[in-house]
């Protein structure tokens, strides 16, 4: 097979032809749950790549063209506020879909600017590995915590972007990104792949999220 289009921590993404890519886990992991989440989203008009095949660790899907929102921010085509607004809108839309079960709404659980492709048809959400059902505030807490973490410890251009994105994201969502942030800290803290570095940053990142939500409340009262 040709060189991957992208190589992430857990999976490689290969172009199969002009219309299809293959996302393949390097370690045994079943793609059926993420394919099911993507199918539910697609069925209700939420922008995801179409899934052609999900078997074991392999997911064959529609090939998207366009930069990720992260790339667009880094090269100045998109502002951190624009990215924050798009993330907030995508979350609002996702959480408004009909539930799949009695266990809350479909959550993406990893929505950040690197997981949104600015395709010609509009923003499309990729990387549904962590998708599950639950309380929408949990999804908001994940995004806010990721922005806070990168804002405090990412390489300089990323840190500046994420730091600028966080208050706008919190300002645009209608739910509460701080309410369940400690639950997200516990979930991330239990990840065996997490280095000691990130582990020690989690409490301060959670505080940044709480402060951003407090600032939003103050702005609303002013
Ligand atoms: N459907 C797709 N079409 C085109 N490129 C894709 C597609 N899905 C993923 N990619 C590419 O692969 C990269 C990583 O994909 P992603 O699913 O976010 O995996 P991870 O973050 O785990 O490495 C993306 O940033 C994008 O460049
Ligand atoms: Mg990703």
**Residues 166 and 91 occupy one common structural domain:** yes
Residue 1: inside a domain, yes or no?
A: no
Quote the CA–CA distance of 157 and 65 in Å, as a whole number: 24
Q: How many domains does the chain have?
A: 2
- Determine the distance from the C-alpha atom of residue 211 to the mean position of all C-alpha atoms in its chain, rounded to a whole number: 21
**Residues 170 and 211 occupy one common structural domain:** yes
Q: What's the confidence (pLDDT) of residue 195? A: 83
Which of ligand 1's atoms lies nearest the C-alpha of 64?
A: 3
Structure confidence by residue, pLDDT tens digits, 201-212: 999 999 999 999
Which of ligand 1's atoms lies nearest the C-alpha of 13?
A: 12
Q: What's the confidence (pLDDT) of residue 5? A: 93
Confidence band (pLDDT; 50, 70, 90) for 2? confident
CATH number of the domain to which 175 belongs? 3.90.1200
Q: How far is the CA of 111 from the centre of ligand 2 (A)?
A: 9
Mean pLDDT, the chain, integer: 96
Q: What's the confidence (pLDDT) of residue 68? A: 97
Q: Is the CB of 49 under 6 A from ligand 1?
A: yes
Q: Is 218 helix (H, G, I), strand (E, B) or coil?
A: helix
**Residues 23 and 119 occupy one common structural domain:** no
Confidence band (pLDDT; 50, 70, 90) for 194? confident
**Residues 57 and 77 occupy one common structural domain:** no
Which of 62, 94, 110 delimits the end of a domain? 62
**Residues 160 and 213 occupy one common structural domain:** yes
Range of the domain at 182: 69-221
Q: What's the confidence (pLDDT) of residue 69? A: 98
Residue 50: inside a domain, yes or no?
A: yes
**Residues 17 and 118 occupy one common structural domain:** no
Kindly report the pTM of this predicted structure.
0.97
**Residues 161 and 56 occupy one common structural domain:** no
Cite the beta strand spans of the chain per DSSP E. 6-7, 11-15, 20-25, 51-55, 58-62, 105-107, 116-119, 122-125, 132-134
Name the DSSP letter for residue 50.
Answer: P
**Residues 53 and 88 occupy one common structural domain:** no
Residue 18: inside a domain, yes or no?
A: yes
H or E element: which one contains 219? helix 196-221
Q: Is the CB of 182 under 6 A from ligand 1?
A: no
**Residues 93 and 123 occupy one common structural domain:** yes
**Residues 199 and 112 occupy one common structural domain:** yes
Give whole-number Cα distances, 10 to 6, 90, 91, 110, 213, in Å.
11, 25, 24, 14, 32
For residue 107, pLDDT beyond 70 = yes
Residue 56: inside a domain, yes or no?
A: yes
**Residues 89 and 30 occupy one common structural domain:** no
CATH number of the domain to which 34 belongs? 3.30.200.20
The proportion of the chain whose per-residue pLDDT surpasses 90, expressed as a percent, equals: 90
**Residues 19 and 107 occupy one common structural domain:** no
Quote the CA–CA distance of 90 and 56 in Å, as a whole number: 28
Q: Is the CB of 48 under 6 A from ligand 1?
A: no
Q: Is the CB of 7 under 6 A from ligand 1?
A: no
């Amino acid at each position: 097979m040709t060189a991957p289009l992208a190589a992430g921590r857990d999976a490689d993404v290969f172009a199969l032809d002009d219309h299809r890519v293959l996302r393949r886990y390097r370690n045994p992991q079943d793609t059926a749950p993420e394919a099911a989440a993507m199918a539910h989203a697609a069925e209700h008009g939420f922008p995801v790549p179409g899934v052609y095949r999900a078997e074991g660790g392999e997911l064959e899907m529609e090939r998207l063209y366009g930069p990720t929102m992260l790339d667009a921010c880094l090269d100045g085509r998109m502002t951190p506020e624009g990215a924050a607004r798009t993330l907030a809108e995508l979350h609002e839309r996702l959480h408004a879909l009909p539930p799949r079960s009695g266990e809350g709404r479909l959550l993406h659980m990893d929505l950040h600017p690197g997981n949104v492709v600015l395709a010609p048809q509009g923003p499309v959400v990729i990387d549904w590995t962590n998708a599950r059902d639950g309380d929408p505030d949990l999804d908001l807490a994940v995004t806010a915590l990721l922005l806070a973490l990168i804002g405090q410890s990412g390489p300089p251009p990323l840190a500046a972007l994420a730091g600028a994105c966080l208050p706008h994201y919190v300002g645009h969502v209608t739910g509460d990104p701080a309410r369940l942030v400690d639950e997200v800290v516990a979930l991330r803290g239990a990840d065996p792949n997490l280095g000691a570095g990130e582990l020690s940053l989690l409490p301060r990142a959670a505080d940044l999220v709480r402060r951003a939500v407090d600032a939003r409340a103050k702005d609303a009262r002013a």
